[in-house]
Chain A
Amino acid sequence: MKSIYLFILLIAGACSSAPDKEQIIFKDGIGSLKLGMSLADVEKLLGSKLITTKNYLDSLNGTYEDTAQAVYNSIPLQLEFHRSYNNANNFYLRLIGIRSSSSLCKTASGIGIGSDKLKIISYYDSCHIKIQPGYVSYFNTEEGKEKSTLSIFDDNENSPEGDDTYTIVFYLFNKKVNSFELKAKLKE
């Protein structure tokens, strides 16, 4: 009887303490979720149909982002899609933004939620880094005294060939990361 209790205890312990899987933040995605993927490929990876909602940017202004909420390996994400047109009436959606505030996501060097501004600057010392007051996202800025946005651009930023370019954006509160976004500017 004792051994049955012990077995149950071990199983229960293992279940309750099993940590959610950490995911590595790359400049072009999180784990297997990559910027540039089509909506269909993203849905296949996530194993669920996504509901894309036109965000407020995609109105009469003529901008083309669509937003969806998703969960990837227990990590809540906000996904931004861009419409790539095959012709005037035919387009497909491609992933151009992934935003999250999950502490399960970290770069290979350990930068994630809670990391310090100067640690990021020091790690990405050779890159173009942009620091802006407030939370800057696309065309909007959410102002706030302790809020700032720190963007790391990749070296393709000024590529004359117009290659795909990726940006890691860290949103900081009181100089500590509280969320991040991966952005892509993709070749048509």
Chain B
Amino acid sequence: MKKIFFILFIFISTITAAQSKDYLLSTDGIGALKLGMPLSDLEKILQKKITLKVIDVDPIALTEKIKAKYKNIDVEINLIKRQDGIVVDGITSNSNLCKTTSGIGVGSDQLEIINAYDDYNVDLLPVYEGTDNPVKSKTKKNILVKQGAEGYAILFHLINNKVVSFEIFPDFDDEE
């Protein structure tokens, strides 16, 4: 009986570890879903053929947003057509399964993010609502985290000081 429990314990631990690796949130992606990944690799990861409706259909558009399921979580993926092909340029999700190595994810607060990214570049950004005369939101805030002044970044969206969703994207200064 003890042996069965032991084997079950090992089995559950292995599955849990594999799952948390699948959902590991970092500045370069979620698990195996990575920024810069070619479309063909993305299709392998998602186990699905992606039919583009904008890129290569609209002669001018170079970007397209698609909705997909990655390991049973909902994600939005930005694609961009570069000279070397179509690649992943952004990933958005609100799944509470995705967590950074330090446990930051949906539900985390501003202080936890600041403490977790002590040696990173962190921007606490007010959110403006409305188009004609935008007003600073009293409940919403974004927190941008990246390792250097430029590079891959995570943007956490907070409402009432709790993360509700996040985006991962390359953040470079266009002026250069």
Contact = CB atoms under 8 A, between A and B. Distances in A.
Interface of A: 118, 121, 126-133, 155
B121 A121 contact: no
B123 A129 contact: yes
Contacts of B111: 118
Contacts of A130: 121-124
Interface in B111-134: 111, 114, 119-126
B67 interface: no
Contact of B121 (A127, A128, A133, A155): A133
A155 B122 CA distance: 18
Given A118-B111, A121-B114, A128 B126 contact: yes
B136 A126 contact: yes
Given A118-B111, A121-B114, A126-B136, A131 B122 contact: yes
A175 to B, nearest CB: 9
29 contacts: A118-B111, A118-B114, A121-B110, A121-B114, A121-B124, A126-B126, A126-B136, A127-B126, A128-B123, A128-B124, A128-B125, A128-B126, A129-B123, A129-B124, A130-B121, A130-B122, A130-B123, A130-B124, A131-B114, A131-B121, A131-B122, A131-B123, A131-B124, A132-B121, A132-B149, A133-B119, A133-B120, A133-B121, A155-B136
B133 to A, nearest CB: 12
A118 B109 CA distance: 14
Nearest to B144: A130
B165 to A, nearest CB: 20
Determine the interface band of chain B, counting residues with CB < 8 A from chain A. 10 to 19
Interface of B: 110-111, 114, 119-126, 136, 149
Contacts of B110: 121
Contacts, number: 29
Contacts of B122: 130-131
A131 B114 CA distance: 9
A127 to B, nearest CB: 7
A127 B136 CA distance: 10
Given A128-B126, A129-B123, 16 more contacts: A121-B110, A121-B114, A126-B136, A127-B126, A128-B124, A128-B125, A130-B123, A130-B124, A131-B122, A131-B123, A132-B121, A132-B149, A133-B119, A133-B120, A133-B121, A155-B136
Contacts of A129: 123-124
A129 B144 CA distance: 10
Nearest to B128: A158
Nearest to A133: B119
